[in-house]
Amino acid sequence: MKDLLGFGDLELIELSRKGDDQAFGVIISRYEHQIARTVIGMLGDTDEAEDVGQETFIRFFRSLDKFRGDSTLGTYLTRIAINLSLNELTKRKKTLSLFYKRSKDKETMFDIPEPGDEFERSDKKEIVDKALQQLEPGFRSVVVLRLVEGYSTKETSEILNLPLGTVLSRLSRAQEKLKEILVPLMK
Amino acid sequence: MVEKEKYNLLLRSFDEDLDADQEAKLKEALSSSEELRTEQEEILAMRNMISSQKASFKPGFTDRVVNKIKEESHLQVIIPDFNQTFFSVFKKVALTGVAAIIILLFSIYYSSSRLGVDTIVGDPYSDDGLVSYLLYDDIDE
């Protein structure tokens, strides 16, 4: 296993195509955290996020022969992860709509703690996580790619297959909403 | 209250390359408005907070994925084996059936010197015979 750690992505992919499990294991270890940030950003720290994370690598494994290296492996995997997460959110929405009728009032899915001590005590990670969950999936995916993953706006638009203008406007609106939630807690 | 236009310019400055004119406008607005500077600091702090998010799956993620892939590959080996066996047996049965039909047709042709629906299904009445039968049903008596 140690010998493989120094291998480049393309070499590891080539070995995986030939059936080398260890090489594929190195790929997973290398991108596990990046995919975790993406799917947990999209779905929250849930069991579904783990399932989608696993499915991302399984889908990639199934389509190893299709990978041509036009984009980096990280971007390729992120694209799969985002699409699977969006599918999962659609499924979740359909399931929820069977049991939950949306109230006419502004929907709040979690209690935002009062600024000050409460925030100090709260898990910062959890708060950010929940704040992200307040965004509509289309806005959330833009924030996750741009702010969490650090992709440029152009890369974000390519991954999501959206016009750059749409990405910028979603980013701007999402930031305003996040600012509304998070800034009072930071004071 | 921060002017909407300047605030939008500030928001855009984090993700877009502003042109020289817009950049100058923003710079001027930032130097003259403390409120806008505070907004800038807050947005920056918020973005840092989001980008510093750490996330990870439960330990053993790699093993779980590799095991799933192995299980799936094992299933894929079993399924083609079943399919292969099924289709090879089906092929043999189908070929035998076709051969039997050809032999049957050939033997019919050989015995009656002609090959038609009547000779195959064994209908004893030819068109002429049928008319005679209907008109004179006591023809044999």
Q: What is the largest CA-CA distance in chain B?
A: 127
**pLDDT tier, B87 (very low <50, low <70, confident <90, very high otherwise):** confident
| Per-residue pLDDT at A105 | 46
* Cα–Cα distance measured from residue A136 to residue A163, given in angstroms and rounded to the nearest whole number: 18
Q: Do B72 and A179 touch (CB under 8 A)?
A: no
In the predicted structure, residue B59 carries a pLDDT above the cut 60: yes
Residue spans of alpha helices (H) in A100-163: 117-121, 124-133, 137-143, 153-160
- CB-nearest to B50 from A50, A53, A148 is A148
In this prediction, what percent of chain B has a pLDDT beyond 90? 40
B69: closest chain A residue by CA: A58
Contact A186 B8 (CB under 8 A): no
- B49:A54 CB<8 A: no
Nearest to A183 among B46, B57, B65 (CB): B46
Chain A contact present for B66, CB below 8 A: yes
Claim: this prediction has a pTM higher than 0.80: no
* Phi, psi for A131 (deg, rounded to 5): -65, -40
Q: Which residue positions in chain A have pLDDT lower than 70?
A: 1-2, 98-122, 187
- CB spacing of A21 vs B66 below 8 angstroms: yes
| Predicted local confidence at residue A114, as pLDDT | 56
The encoded tokens of residue A52 equal 């989608």
- The neighbour count for residue A83, using CB atoms within 10 Å, is 17
| Residue B95, pLDDT above cutoff 80 | yes
| ipTM of model | 0.79
Test A28 with B65 for CB contact under 8 angstroms. yes
User: Which pLDDT belongs to residue A96?
Assistant: 74
B3 interface with A at CB cutoff 8 Å: no
Report the alpha-carbon distance of residue A185 to residue A118 in Å, rounded: 9
DSSP class of B58:
P
Task: Give the 3-state secondary structure percentages of chain A, helix then strand then coil, rounded to 5.
Answer: 75, 0, 25
Per-residue pLDDT band at B4 (split at 50, 70, 90): confident
Which structural domains are found in chain A, ordered by start?
A: 1-97 (1.10.1740.10), 100-187 (1.10.10.10)
Selection from A33, A89, A30, A20 nearest residue A61 by Cα: A20
Q: What is the pLDDT of residues A68-101, one digit of tens each?
A: 888 999 999 999 999 999 999 999 888 777 666 5
Q: What pLDDT was estimated at residue B40?
A: 93
The pLDDT tens digits for B18-30 are: 899 999 999 999 9
Shortest Cα distance, chain B CAs vs residue A37, angstroms = 5
For position A94, what pLDDT does the model report?
80
Q: Which two tokens stand for residue A74?
A: 């990280």
